[in-house]
Amino acid sequence: MPQKEGIEMTSQTTLKEDVYSKITNKIIADLERGELTWRKPWDADNLIGKINRPLRWNNVPYTGVNIIMLWAEAADRGYQTPYWMTFKQAAELKGHVKKGEKATQVVFADSFTIVDKDQNGEEKRQNIPFLKSYAVFNAAQIEGLPEPYYNVPEFKPTNEETRILELEKFFADTMAEITHGGNQAYYSVTQDKVQMPPFECFYSALNYYSCLSHEMVHWTRHPKRLDRDFGRKHFGDEGYAKEELVAELGSCFLSSDLGLEPESHEGHAAYIQSWLTVLKNDKKFIVNAASHAQKAVEYLHSFKPSFE
């Protein structure tokens, strides 16, 4: 995130506040109701077909856990514009927040350095990461902004009957080994390949590409790519649950970029229970998972030729 935002938020932040717990508790509450916070935009009538990344005032997309929090807030409050900004940024754009409007908290990752001495009396520096929170408002809560901030993204329907060349090329550019057959979709890290059921077995083309997005996020975990492990030892353990949460978040992030609706998995009920266990045991993991998901999506996008 830009340094300017980091500077602004320091006056609004109480460092004693456990930001990680605040974010995690919100998501745990949703999961206990059987809701996936990061999928709320696709379930909201006001956002159908208009899902994209939340944007700052300067058109820079939010990343990581802020995507999840702002998506959920937009879905809950019925906001259709993707723009969010601080009170000060709104004022600089000649806008003013409507009376009675409540802000939404987003976070900024920062760190501080502590200096200690080792047993030999030599100075040892250590960076300690932490989160700061600050308040933003959706453009729908602000009056007087330039007209573009109120524009609602246009939904462009895609032909669901045939393969979509643009998406075919996106995944082909990664040079991943993608094979088809059987009735299961999965990524094998030992074989380093993505296995997909035949294209014709899916209800629609978008359904196929959404499922492929999920497996391609798993593909990024290989040691020669992003080397994501989480101490996974066997199917269903905590490391497995953590990797599935990263793939779930990454699939949602990538789906919004590609104009897809995330694939619904029959095992979500079981995943929810395993995710609840992970999040209750580690209040920082949802932030870390969103960061891993962000890196996975950026990695997949990095294969796109620069001349396009």
Tokens 């709320």, located at residue: 40
Which of 65-69, 80-84, 277-281, 303-307 has the lowest average pLDDT?
303-307
The percent of residues above 70 in pLDDT, for the chain, comes to 88
Q: What is the DSSP string of 242-302?
A: HHHHHHHHHHHHHHHHHT-PPPPPTTHHHHHHHHHHHHHH-TTHHHHHHHHHHHHHHHHHT
* Residue 308 pLDDT > 90: no
Check residues 153 and 13 and name the one with the higher pLDDT.
153
**Look-up of token digits 């802000």:** 103
If DSSP codes are grouped into helix, strand and coil, which group holds residue 220? coil
Whether the CB-CB separation of 23 and 287 falls below 8 Å is answered with yes
Would the pLDDT of 14 be above 50? Answer: no
Mean pLDDT of the residues in the chain: 87
Residue 111's pLDDT is: 67
Of 217, 285, 227, which is closest to residue 253 (Cα–Cα)? 217
Lowest-confidence range among 77-86, 133-142, 258-267, 280-289? Answer: 258-267
Report, in angstroms and rounded to the nearest whole number, the Rg of the chain calculated over CA atoms: 21
Query: What's the DSSP call for residue 121?
Result: S
Q: Which of 79, 89, 73, 87 is nearest to 23 (CA)?
A: 73
Residue 48 has what pLDDT?
A: 65
Higher-pLDDT residue of 275, 183: 275
Closest to 140 in 3D by CA, of 180, 72, 90: 90
Q: What is the DSSP string of 33-80?
A: TT--GGGHHHH-GGGTT-----B-TTSPBP-THHHHHHHHHHHHHT--
* Cβ proximity of 39 and 27 under 8 Å: no
Question: What pLDDT shows up at residue 155?
Answer: 60
Report which of residues 236 and 91 the model is more confident about. 91
Q: What is the mean pLDDT of residues 165-181?
A: 96
Q: Identify the pLDDT of residue 5.
A: 36
pLDDT at position 307: 55
Residue spans per domain, the chain = 3-150, 165-301
**Residue 267 — pLDDT band, cuts 50, 70, 90?**
low
User: In the prediction, which pLDDT does 161 show?
Assistant: 63
The pLDDT value given to residue 183: 87
> Looking at per-residue confidence, does 90 or 3 come out higher?
90
Distance in angstroms (rounded) separating the CA atoms of residues 117 and 31: 44
Q: Are 37 and 27 in contact (CB under 8 A)?
A: yes
Residue 264's pLDDT is 72
Q: How do residues 188-233 score in pLDDT, each as one tens digit? A: 999 999 999 999 888 888 889 999 999 999 999 999 999 999 988 7
Distance, first Cα to last Cα, the chain: 25
Q: Which of 196, 213, 221 is nearest to 249 (CA)?
A: 213
Is residue 180 over pLDDT 80? yes
pLDDT of 50 > 80? The answer is: no
- Say how far apart CA 269 and CA 134 lie, in whole Å: 33
What percent of the chain is modeled with pLDDT above 90? 63
- Whether the per-residue pLDDT at 49 is higher than 80: the answer is no
**Stretch (H or E) spanning 181:** none
pLDDT at site 11: 33
Q: What is the pLDDT of residue 232?
A: 83
- Determine the pLDDT at residue 4: 34
Q: Are 42 and 52 in contact (CB under 8 A)?
A: no
* Distance of alpha carbon 164 from the chain centroid: 24
Q: Decide: 90 and 137 in contact? Cβ < 8 Å.
A: yes
